[in-house]
Every structure is written in C-alpha cells, then in structure tokens.
Amino acid sequence: MTTPGQTVRVLSWNLERKRPESPLGKTGVEHLASYGPDVMVLTEVRTTFPVGDGHALWCEPPRSSVFDDKERKVMIWSKQPWRLVDRIGIDGLDQRRFISATTDTPIGPVRVLGVCIPWHMAEVTHPIDVKRKPWELHIRYLTLLHELLAASDMPTIVAGDFNQRTPRVKGGNKAASEVLNETFADFDIVTQGQLEGGTRPGIDHIALSSQLRSTNTWAWPNVVNGQRLSDHEGAGADLVLP
C-alpha cells in the first residue's frame, strides 16, 4: 500500500570486487548503510556481502576463470523480500550481468533491474569464446535491454554499472552513446552528469520509468576519508510517485 509523502531511497555502486570482510570492504559496506537505503544495486560484488535485515539476490556467476566462486557482477538488495525473480530477462542477454525482481517499498511495489553493462573492452584482450571488437558486447547488451524495457508496465528502476557517462563526454563513443539514449528513451536517467557530492560524471546510474520521479540525487567519491573504496563513484536517489 502506498503511503502519501513517502520516498524510496536507491543506491548504485560498483564495489570493485572487494572482500566485504577486508578493512576497505567493511568500510564500503558501512558507508552504504549510512545512507539508510531501501533498495541497492551493487556491481562487482561478492556473495559474502552482509545483507543484514534485508534481502539480497545475485546474478549467475561469471564465466571467466579470473573470478572466484563468490564473485558476481550484480546484486540487488531490498529491505523487503523479493518476488517475481528473473535471471534471464530476454533471450541472448548476458545472464551473468543481469537480475530483476519486484519488491514492496513505501510507495508501493517496484520492479528493479540490476545491470552491469559490459565495458568497452569486454572479451577483447581476454576473449572467452571468440575475440570481440571494442564496444561490441556493450552495444549488444543495450540493444537487448531496450527490448526488455519496452515490455515494462509497472514502476521500474534500472540501476547498476552502465560503463558509460551520459550525456556523452569528450572522447566518449558516439555509437554507444546513441544506443544508450535509444535504450532509455522512455526512462529518466536521473544520475546524468556530475552530481552533488561527486568529483566527476559517473558511470553508476539509476534510471526511472515514467511512473517514478526523483526528488533528490547525489554522488559520493570513490575515496572516502582518505580510503580508496572503489574505482567508481557511487550514486543515490530519493524517489516518489509523480
């Protein structure tokens, strides 16, 4: 049930594969908790991440042997239980970089899609099946995600590592930027540009379907109190129904 005046706090951050029991990993976990999130989408995370009183789901494990068995590209976390869990999305989408489910929030049920869009050199210098071209897997993922988002009919959040700044910055790939814009044509990427609290435009994003609106967005740097917690800046947003 929706409660008037309530908000949903969503966080998105890449944890750079840090072990949550390590000193830096523990500090990162505590930093996230300090924001009091309702929903989090974390990337390059481990299944040993302490979920506390919340509920967590992970995508399928990576294929590459450079990752250990506890590493995952995407985790979604919520204060409330998850349901309607989807680890496939659409035929052809990399299931090791995607997970979706629905959770209850103070503004009602919300569908959350956690993504880790391949970086531009994915499987280029270290091929798994065949050698890829730069941006090939990134653009393929976005194209398939576009088809999946077109079927959305409820309040939806897409969050995670987009591996691309938006709006496009100097030196950014034009083709990839155009596909990103097309994929999210019906969504609002509320973490675009340089956010308050950040030091540069980020690539960890939060995108909203038309049923949702952001009242506040912010970022935090990858270095907190002199400690390098990640190679990414994090992003947060408070959401309401329009």
Cα separation, 101 vs 82, in Å, equals 6
Residue 127's pLDDT is 85
pLDDT at 171: 92
pLDDT of residue 1: 46
Residues with Cβ within 8 Å of 226's Cβ and at least 6 positions away in sequence, in order, are none
pLDDT of residue 159: 99
Report the chain (242 residues): mean pLDDT per 10 consecutive residues: 77 97 97 98 97 97 80 97 97 96 97 98 89 96 95 92 97 97 98 97 98 98 96 98 90
pLDDT at 126: 85
What is the pLDDT at residue 221?
98
pTM of the model: 0.96
The token duo for 186 is 């019906």
Domains of the chain are 8-240 (3.60.10.10)
Strands 156-161 and 204-208: antiparallel
Give residue 5's pLDDT.
Answer: 74
